[in-house]
Structures are given as structure tokens and as C-alpha cells.
Structure 1
Amino acid sequence: MKRIYLFFAVCLLPIFLIGCTQQKTTQAEDSISAGLLVTESGLGDDSFSDSAFRGLEQARDELGITFDYREPFDQNYEEQMKELIQQEHDVIIGLGYNALPTVESLASEFPEQAFVLIDAVSEKENVTSITFKEDEGSYLIGLIAGMKTKSGVVGFIGGEEIPVVQRFEEGFKQGVEKANPDAEVLVTYANTFDDDQKGADITKEMVDQGADYVFPAAGFTGVGALKEAEVQNIYAFGVDSDQFFVAEESVVSSMLKNVNVALYDVMEQLTGDQALSGEHITLGVEQNGVGLAPIRLINLTEEQQKTIDQAQNQ
């Protein structure tokens, strides 16, 4: 009798496994999916692309979504994004101002496809644009730099001179001026987000001019600036993500640009059966779109901390 039971159990096991496999496939097919085109710096930038990727990873782990991604190292945005569209994702996400022309073109070519554009604004009805109040977060960084500089000279390093980076610059300069009207702010644009050596070279030049704090908003170029700040024994601020671990003896804080939070919210909306509206969403301190990473390496006085807290609350 035991042999008969064993025979039936063995016979039924493949059927059970097939049933489980079919169920798993159906669940995967039913899940919301996203296609992500990161910046031309690719993953591993310790900044913008990595933040976006983390947001989708969190959505995968907590919401059950699936996603794929492409890295346009050769600036072949359209080719890479078309590959994602052909996979029939529920939403296609383009990162950065440089993705705007491709998103606009393909949004017209594929009017039924939903797109999300980060850091630029499209008027296309099937494109939801998400931008950030970089000036709010950079203002906080500027306050710290203005309050703590000993030389009275600080530096801002931009990637490409485009509106989003100019907002970083403006906020930083306003914060420095508020805290220390006599301080000088050096400004240099690298005209690239992908050259860490250029970031290092600009940092050296600023140190030669007396800068003791630098704030790069320049992608992978900025990573070079942070590492060189450590070599030059000055302080620096990270951007987009908490970049303390890029240069642990130099990075005081980072201006968090929570692309991860924005994309998690997008996927949460889609998994809740809420369609994207094609609107323009702007996220600041109040919406947890921007903020400060923990302040390390330096000590703020009680009055200086109060200044930072008041600025955040305003």
C-alpha cells in the first residue's frame, strides 16, 4: 500500500510543479513593469543613475514590480529606449535633460506608451515630467559652506550648463551669501558629466584660488572632484545621493535629490491601478524631493544648527 501511495505522489509531483510554474509565470506577466534608461554615465555613478535604480529595486522588493534598464554609454538614447519600448513595459523612464529629445520623439511615435521624464519637462500628453527644487537643497548646502569656511572662498562645480544645474548653482550661492555675505563663490562648469579627471583638475584650480569647500553637481565628473578634495585636504559636498563613502575624509554632507523616492511613488501609483496623468510634478523639501544627508566631519554650533533647521522648516 505504501508503494502505491508513493507511486501516486511521484506521479503527481510533476503536475504540481507545472501548476506552480504556470502560476508564477502568470503573476510575473500580471505585474507592473518599468523600463529605465539611465544617464550616459551609467550605473555606478554614486549619484543620479544609482538613485533611480535604487528606487526601482525598492519597488520590486516591496511592490512586486519588475524592471529592466539600459545604459546609453554611446549616447544612443533612441536605440536603447526603443529596445525597452519593444519589451512592452507599463512605463518607460528617461533620466536627465539629455533624454528629453528622445522621450519627446518616441512619445509621439508611441502615443499609447506611458513615459516618465526626470529633470526635464515635456508637453506631450503621455509624458509625466518630474523635476526637483534643487535650489532649496543647494541653499542648505550653501548655508553650511558659508558658515564654516575659514578661507572665505568656496567653489561650485557644474556638469553641463543647463537649467537644472544652474538651479543648483543659484541655490548654493544664495545660501553662502545668506550665511556669509563676504565669502567668494568660485563657479566653473566642466561641460561634461562623465569626466572624473576634469572634476579633479577643476578642484585643484579652486584650491589654488583658496577654496576650502567645494560643491560639485556634475555626475561622474563630480566624483572626481570629491576624491580630489580628499587629496587636497579640503571639505566637499556630495549631490543626488549620500556620497560620503566616495571620500570619507572630505564629504561633509550631500544634497539629496530623491529620484529613488520619486520613482518608487510612480510605481506605487501604477500598482494601485492609477494611471499616470502626463502632468508636471515638482518636488522640494516639503515633498521629500530634496534634503540633506547627515552632517559629518564638522561640528555645527547650536546657533548654526538652528539656522539650518529654520531654513528647512521654511
Structure 2
Amino acid sequence: MKQNWNVIGLMSGTSLDGIDLVFTSFIKENKTYSYKILNSETISYSLEWEDKLRNAFYLSKAEISKLNVEYGVYLGETINSFIKKYSLKNIDFIASHGHTIFHKPDEGYTLQIGDGEQLSKATNLKVVCDFRTQDVELGGQGAPLVPIGDKLLFSEYDYCLNLGGFSNISFEQEKQRIAFDICPVNIVLNYYVKQLGFNYDNKGEIAKTGSINIDLLNDLNNLNFYKMPIPKSLGFEFVETTIIPLIDSYKLSIKDILRTFVEHIAQKIVEQLENTSTKKMLVTGGGAYNLFLIDLIKSKTMCVLVIPEKSLVDFKEALIFAFLGVLKLNNEVNCLQSVTGATKDHSSGKIYIKLH
């Protein structure tokens, strides 16, 4: 039996560079899923919205509740423009990650704003959202959620590596999906390169001109996080309280900081890989464009790195949140106990039905 769905997936990352939107089709045939990205775009935030989302952390409960509704309406308007621009037809539903304001699973809560009811009203479409809350209620981390997509859509790869603000990896081990954060990436590189007036180090060209500071490299490699067992995840707090003070204590030039940190990233990633040419790794996220970093990783492992087409490099997360929506509506598992540490595998998300 063949089933298919046309879905709009949306994702807003903590870097606040915009809303990632994909229109994608999924087909299920003989229990196997396949996908095709039909249209994709990143819609940048206005300075006003960037400011609102950045400072939402400090708002009162009532103010956050109001922002949740307002942001839901805004996402609806953004999607309506996306639909109009690409003349999209036969949309089955929207799957929205929302924008994370709080994520403290150890304290039993997580909050992604973007009210599903408002989003459904604004677009007159069914909405699936709030994928993390149920997992936290079941004792899990509510993250990462992407590995189920890695397992079911990208099973031809031995590893799926994402190089975003942080690097994270997922793979099969003893018939279980394992996934965790490895180390910071762009969140640190961009912080330093901005001091030179650039948003990012294009292709790693600046890092390439620097020299490695062995003492700093050793200190970075020996940080306590790297000795901790999995599952584990990283947040901005780790960068702010640990990484940046350590790097700054060395008083190095920016190019030497970048060169040393890129070396650190490459070493930490390669530690996770089996060093054999029979293994294939899919690489996505903005760091896939850092050619110097990619070449460094390649030089340290026989594992084959595969960088896919641009739409997948940029929109894999939005694609997988669309897929999580498909799994939820089919009442299939979309949160893995082996990844999040929850008490069981489960099907997570809230559904808002369009009103006629």
C-alpha cells in the first residue's frame, strides 16, 4: 500500500538567522519512507522579531503567553507568503518546531513558542507542533529529535553529522539509534570572526592562515564535557562559561584562535568515527561549507564524507520536523528512548485541526 503526504516543515534555530521553510513530499511504500524537497527558503527575521525572540527568556509568564500567540500569527502569515510565492497546492498539513525559549529537561520543562491554534487559524491548515514536551514529561531530554529521520530517511549512511552552532552525530549501535552533541562549532567560530567584522569565516580561509596553539588545544580537548557518558547535549551556557573564558585567557590573535578551534572540532569529530573506508558519513549544516574544516576531518579519517545538495545541507532539520509530523499523524514512533533517555519510545506532538 502506497501513501503520500505534502507537508510544510518549519524550523527556527537558536542562532536567530531566520525561519527555515520546506515544502516536501513523503511517500510510504512497503513500510519504507522516501522524501523529495520541492521548495525551500530561509526567511530572515526583522530586527524587531530578532529582538523579541532574543529577549523572550527574560519575560514574565503572562508576557511569554502573549508572545506565543503573536508569534503563532506571525508564522502563519510567513507561511501564507511562502505558499503564495511558490503557488503551493494540495498541502496536507504544517509541522512546526517553533522557537525555543526555555529548554531545561533536567528541571522538567521545555518551551517552544509559536501557538499551533493561531498558526492553524492563520493558514486554515492542520498543524502538528510541540514535539518536545511529551518526551520531557516521560523523563527524556526532549532532544535530539532529528535521529528518527536519520534512521528512516538516511539509513544508507553509517553516520549523520550536523555542523551547526554545535556538532552532533547519530548512528546505529547494536540495533539502537545513538545520538549526541560532540562539541561547539559555528557558535564559537562566528563569535571570534565577528570581531574582525565578518559574520562567518568563508570556507575557513582565515582559520587556514593561523597557527595551532598546542597548550590551548590540549586544554580544550581535556574539558570535562568530553569525558561525560552519553546521552549528552550542549547549550550556549557551556560556550559562555567555559569555552570563551578559556580561549580568551590565552590572548591569541583571531586567526590562531580559529585555527586551534577548527583543529579541536576536527579531532573531536574523528574520535567518534570508525577509521575505515567502508563507512559513509552524511554532513549537513552551515559548517559543511567550511572547506578547511571538511578537509581537516578528511585528512584524519578514512571514513567517506558525503556533502549533499544545498537544499539538504541547509534544510535537513526543517525536512525532518515535517517528517516527525507524518509519523505523529500515523501514530508511529517519532521520539527514541535510546536517544533522549525517556522511559519509552513514543509518538510526540500536538495536533491542531483546521476549522471550517
Fold agreement, TM-score > 0.5: no
The two structures have a TM-score, normalised by structure 1, of 0.37
The two structures have a TM-score, normalised by structure 2, of 0.34
Higher helix fraction (1 or 2): 1
Tell me which structure has the larger Cα radius of gyration.
1
